[in-house]
Amino acid sequence: MRNARRHGLIVCAVVAACSSTKKPLPPPDLSTVTESFAPARATVGDALGIAKILSFDAATRVAQLDRIDGLGVHLVRRDFLWADLEPSDGVFDFAAEDAAVDDSRARGLTTIGLLAYDAPWAASDGDIATPPDPQKFAAFVEETVKHFAGRVDIWELWNEPNVSTFWKPRGDGFEYAKLLAAASPAVRRGNPKATIVLAGLLYHEEAIVVGADSFLEDAFTFNPDLGSLFDVLALHPYVRYPPQAPPEQDDSREQPVGEMIARMRALLAYYGAPKPIWVTEYGWPIYGTVDEAAQARFTVRGAVEAMAAGAERVCIYTLDDGPNPTAFPPEDAFGVYRNDGTPKAAVAAIHTLVSTDPALAITDYAFDGGVRHYTLTSAATRVELYFAVDGMTHATAAGDVGADPVYVVSH
């Protein structure tokens, strides 16, 4: 489908944000917040998904969807790029994306649509990582959300705006708050029933990353009513780059995945915005000390830890390796399938977690002598899941348990 429209006048929501009757709060003290057991109600079948850009080539896309089927998940988070969908000012082309959306729906997949980045024609310097004009971006958002209403009803607004790779010259919570103030009402106009997801934030402060807590503090300072503009906070709780540590590591360099989620939950509560938290990306590349076996065990352990800490959705990054999986930085090595489409060990590990019983939800947790013990239950099944986090083998009720998850299933 191709159609043309002129950008209409969009009321500048930024003005309303700046005139909020709420007074900005000082930053919260999150130093005492630690990992806690606060499981989401979501089942593993609903919660687990994959982050993947689907090809516009039909044959390639069918193969990708086959591989997603092989994981057993029913959720996909993927890009809806401004540059693709509005290739020139006011001219929209949804044909290729329509086919991808319809193919995904035919496989029973729910889509989290990621609306990003700047369009070359709209960017002041032609760079898609340049922060966009909020009103131009909002016009794109409204048209896209309206077009896909009923087929895609979950929309994430930008990706990692706290990382300079995606928001130049450096992530900026103040500027992102301006973008959200324009784009969120645009989503509501396009589809009043849509779920709005605040852009997935990389957690750790790094050379090119503004830490998620500092970024959100700035956003809430700019607009104390920020919580009214989104329904879900998306977090990317990767361990420090390049990811090597297990998801439970807790030392001067790393924080457990569960603690990252707990801190974001505490921050939202402090600002009066107790929203659900979704993990829309996390994963490990095959690199350094992380081989395929480690990727598999970390992926499952991280997913369970995230859900136990309250994450309602967990999307693994990513489906396939890129063309250069041995290169550094290891961006092409995150796939759970190799570049030739053959599965790594993580595929079987993910499939086991989901397929044992998709209706399972985490209901209990215990930690004893280096072993994490999670209980997952459904109406028909009970699963005791054990794994050791200290690299040792421990004697448990399930027998000897090491780093690989051990399942004890009863019906």
Mean pLDDT of the chain: 94
The pLDDT of residue 355: 95
Looking at the predicted structure, is the pLDDT value of residue 50 above 60? yes
Mean pLDDT of 134-143: 98
Mean pLDDT of 70-98: 98
Looking at the predicted structure, is the pLDDT value of residue 313 above 50? yes
Burial of 163 (0-12, 13-18, 19+ CB in 10 A): buried
Looking at the predicted structure, is the pLDDT value of residue 52 above 70? yes
DSSP 76-116: EEEEEEHHHH-SBTTEEE-HHHHHHHHHHHHTT-EEEEEEE
The pLDDT of residue 391: 87
Residues 235-258 pLDDT 10s? 999 999 999 999 999 999 999 999
Mean pLDDT of 294-323: 98
23 pLDDT tier (thresholds 50, 70, 90): confident
Q: Which ranges of 223-371 would DSSP assign to H, the alpha helix?
A: 257-270, 292-308, 345-355
20 pLDDT tier (thresholds 50, 70, 90): low
State whether CATH 3.40.50.2300 applies to domain 8-355: no
The pLDDT of residue 4: 37
Looking at the predicted structure, is the pLDDT value of residue 41 above 50? yes
Looking at the predicted structure, is the pLDDT value of residue 309 above 50? yes
Mean pLDDT of 10-38: 73
What's the pTM value of the predicted model, to 2 decimals? 0.94
Do 84 and 97 touch, CB atoms closer than 8 A? yes
The pLDDT of residue 6: 32
Supply 341's token pair. Answer: 């489409």
Q: How far apart are CA 3 and CA 7, in angstroms?
A: 13
411 pLDDT tier (thresholds 50, 70, 90): confident
Handedness of CA 363, 365, 73, 280 (dihedral sign): positive
